[in-house]
Amino acid sequence: MNKSHLKENSIHGTPFFPLHVYSKVRDRDYHVGYHWHDELEFIFVEDGVMEITINSKVVNVTKGQFIFINSGDFHQVTAKGPSIHHAIVFHPQILNFGYPDKSQTSIITPITNGTFRFPAYTQIEAELNKLIADRLINIISINKNESAISALHIKIILLEIIMALFDRNLFSELQTNAKEKQENIKKVITYIQSHYFKKITLEELASILDMNKNYFSKYFHESVGKTPIAYINEYRCEKAAELLKNSNFKVLDISFMVGFENFSYFIRKFKEHKRYSPTHYKKIFHSGQKLK
């Protein structure tokens, strides 16, 4: 199973310093569907509330908070209403030292090869939260005002964050079974995202992992936090939303284009997922109104 459909292959930063800050200012809903990448990603929320799903965990990240996304983690980002957030995305290899001293071999190498994992869901105490948030804001600012020492300055700040986390024993080690489950779910999601526009059965999905459909449904729910059918419906609704915003197709046609076989069911599921009926959603975007 080819997982390249899901994997984000963008080049972040430059070959000489593979780090980039993506600043997103939105006055409407924001959504980036499930994907994964080799890079580490630190998300800082400047305003609003971001609902971030990492593997099966859903976390609400509010104004002034942040979250770490580890290399290979399957994640999606959603905001209901206006928001401002910054995603610092970088290849972990920029953390490496040329000389293999003790800090390189015992701390940095396990981070860059994915053995040590940043605390994605840990409730970080207030003092450390402020320290890291201030450092992330500093990186965002430095990235906007590039200079000859920007790369060095950012690398030092990243190492300060690592030191603060390591000093408090907040890194965890990647478990083999967790990695295997992650890879299995990527196969299934890749299939869904490649075939969403036609009928998909549970038996079909279960066969990808050589499971029976009942065990597969439980396995998927534990890994993603929702049933396979719920995930398929949400993905189809997101594809429908793109067409409603960016095309002049009729709502009825769009419902069939994204894989819904029943128009009434499509309307109900779309409204559950996007808060508006498809027709209302289309009118809002084509008239330039703001989502409330």
Alpha carbon distance 118, 16 (integer Å): 24
Half-sphere exposure of 21 (CA within 13 A, CB side): 21
**Which residue would you say has higher pLDDT here, 56 or 87?**
87
Cβ neighbours of residue 90 closer than 8 Å, sequence gap 6 or more: 12, 13, 18, 19, 20, 39, 40, 158
| Structure confidence by residue, pLDDT tens digits, 70-105 | 998 889 999 988 999 999 999 999 999 999 899 999
CATH number given to 19-173 = 2.60.120.280
Residue from 38, 71, 29 nearest 54 by CA: 71
CATH superfamily assigned to domain 176-287: Homeodomain-like (1.10.10.60)
Q: What's the rounded mean pLDDT across residues 48-56? A: 90
Per-domain residue ranges of the chain: 19-173, 176-287
**Residue 40 in contact with residue 20, Cβ under 8 Å?**
no
Alpha carbon distance 28, 25 (integer Å): 9
**Residue 258 in contact with residue 239, Cβ under 8 Å?**
yes
| Structure confidence by residue, pLDDT tens digits, 128-153 | 999 999 999 999 999 998 889 999 99
Same fold, 19-173 and 176-287: no
| Structure confidence by residue, pLDDT tens digits, 274-288 | 889 999 999 988 776
